[in-house]
Amino acid sequence: MTNMRQTFGKTLTEIAKKDKNVVVIVADISHGIFSDYREVIGERYFNIGICEPAIVNIAAGLNKVGLNPVVHTIAPFLIERSYEQIKLDFGYQNLNINLVSVGSSFDYSKLGCSHHCYEDVAILKHFKRSQIFLPGSSDEFDVLFTQHYKDNKINYFRITEYPHNHKINLDVNKREYSFKIKEGNDLTIVVLGSQLKNAIQSEEILRKQGYDIEIIYFNTVKPFEENIFLDSIRKTKKFICIEELSYSGGLYEECLKTSLRIDKKIDSDHLSINDFIHDYGSYEQLSKIAGFSVENIIQKIKNLKNK
Amino acid sequence: MLLNKELRLKIVNIIRDAKEGHIPSSFSIVDILDYIYGNVLKIDPKKPEDKNRDYFILSKGHAAAALFVVLNKYGFLSDYQLNSYGQYKSILGGHPDSTKVPGVEASTGSLGHGLPTAVGIAFGLKIKKMNNKVYALVGDGECHEGTIWEAANISSNLKLNNLKVIIDRNQSAQQLMPIENMEKKWEAFGWNTIVFDGHNKLSIKAAFNLNHENQKPTALIANTTKGKGVSFLEGHGIWHHKIPNESEYSLIKKDLES
What tens digit of pLDDT does each residue of B134-190 get? 999 999 999 999 999 999 999 999 999 999 999 999 999 888 899 999 999 999 999
Residue A95 sits in the same domain as residue A182: no
Query: What is d(CA B112, CA B89) in angstroms, rounded to the nearest whole number?
Result: 27
- Within a domain: residue A273? yes
- Within a domain: residue A128? yes
Residue A91 sits in the same domain as residue A211: no
Residue A9 sits in the same domain as residue A141: yes
Taking CA atoms, what residue in A is nearest to B122? A61
- Within a domain: residue A184? yes
Cβ distance B57 to B100 under 8 Å? no
| Mutation site, A52, A62, A70, interface B, largest B CB count within 10 A | A62
Query: What is d(CA B210, CA A56) in angstroms, rounded to the nearest whole number?
Result: 31
Minimal C-alpha gap between A84 and chain B (Å): 9
Which regions of chain B does DSSP assign to beta strands (E)? 55-58, 134-139, 163-169, 192-197, 218-223
* pLDDT computed for residue A61 by the predictor: 98
| CA dist A307 → A124, A234, A240, A266, A291 (Å) | 34, 17, 13, 11, 20
Strands of the sheet with A187-192, listed across from one edge = A178-182, A213-218, A187-192, A238-246, A267-273
- Residue B64: how many CA atoms within 13 Å on its side-chain side? 29
* pLDDT computed for residue A39 by the predictor: 86
- Residue A48: how many CA atoms within 13 Å on its side-chain side? 29
Minimal C-alpha gap between A209 and chain B (Å): 58
* pLDDT computed for residue B1 by the predictor: 67
Report phi then psi at B98, rounded to 5. -65, -20
Torsion of CA A216, A217, A220, A224, to 10 degrees: 0
CB of A158 less than 8 A from some CB of B: no
Residue A115 sits in the same domain as residue A30: yes
CB of B122 less than 8 A from some CB of A: yes
* pLDDT computed for residue B3 by the predictor: 82
CB of B107 less than 8 A from some CB of A: yes
- Within a domain: residue A34? yes
Domain total of chain B: 1
Please identify, among A112, A130, A158, the residue that sits at the C-terminal boundary of a domain.
Answer: A158
- Residues B98-116: pLDDT tens digits? 999 999 999 999 999 999 9
Sign of the Cα pseudo-torsion (A15, A20, A25, A30, in order): positive
Q: From the CA atom positions of chain B, what is the Rg in Å?
A: 17
Range of the domain at B57: 5-257
Residue A189 sits in the same domain as residue A289: yes
Mean pLDDT of chain B: 96
* pLDDT computed for residue B236 by the predictor: 75
Residue A221 sits in the same domain as residue A280: yes
- Within a domain: residue A167? no
DSSP one-letter string for A203-270: HHHHHHTT--EEEEEESEEES---HHHHHHHHHH-EEEEEEEEESSSSHHHHHHHHHTTSSS--EEEE
CB-CB neighbors (< 8 A) of B117 in chain A: 57-58, 60-61, 64, 89
Low-confidence ranges of chain A (pLDDT < 50): none
Residue B18 has pLDDT above 70, yes or no: yes
Minimal C-alpha gap between B117 and chain A (Å): 5
A·B CB contacts under 8 A:
89
Q: What is the mean pLDDT of residues B37-52?
A: 97
Domain total of chain A: 2
Using CB atoms, which residue from B107, B130, B151 is nearest to A88? B107
Taking CA atoms, what residue in A is nearest to B121? A61
Residue A209 sits in the same domain as residue A92: no
CB of B146 less than 8 A from some CB of A: yes
Using CB atoms, which residue from B98, B107, B147 is nearest to A57? B147
Query: What is d(CA B147, CA A186) in angstroms, rounded to the nearest whole number?
Result: 54
* Strand, helix or coil for residue A161: coil
- Within a domain: residue A173? no
CB of B118 less than 8 A from some CB of A: yes
Using CB atoms, which residue from B105, B113, B124 is nearest to A57? B113
CB of B229 less than 8 A from some CB of A: no
Q: What is the mean pLDDT of residues B61-76?
A: 98
CATH number at residue B209: 3.40.50.970
Range of the domain at A242: 178-305
In this structure, the strands spanning B55-58 and B134-139 are: parallel
Minimal C-alpha gap between B106 and chain A (Å): 8
Q: What is the DSSP letter of B244?
A: P
At B224, the pLDDT band (50, 70, 90 cuts) reads very high
Residue A66 sits in the same domain as residue A136: yes
CB-CB neighbors (< 8 A) of B106 in chain A: 60, 93
- Within a domain: residue A232? yes
CATH number at residue A186: 3.40.50.920
| CA dist B164 → A151, B86, B147, B216 (Å) | 32, 30, 16, 10
Residue A222 sits in the same domain as residue A294: yes
pTM (2 d.p.): 0.96
Instruction: Give this complex's ipTM.
Output: 0.95
- Within a domain: residue A123? yes
In this structure, the strands spanning A267-273 and B134-139 are: unpaired
* pLDDT computed for residue B191 by the predictor: 98
Residue A115 sits in the same domain as residue A182: no
Taking CA atoms, what residue in B is nearest to A58? B120
Higher per-residue confidence, B173 vs B251 = B251
Residue A11 sits in the same domain as residue A124: yes
* pLDDT computed for residue B173 by the predictor: 87
Name the residue among B239, B228, B204, B252 with its Cα closest to residue B62. Answer: B239
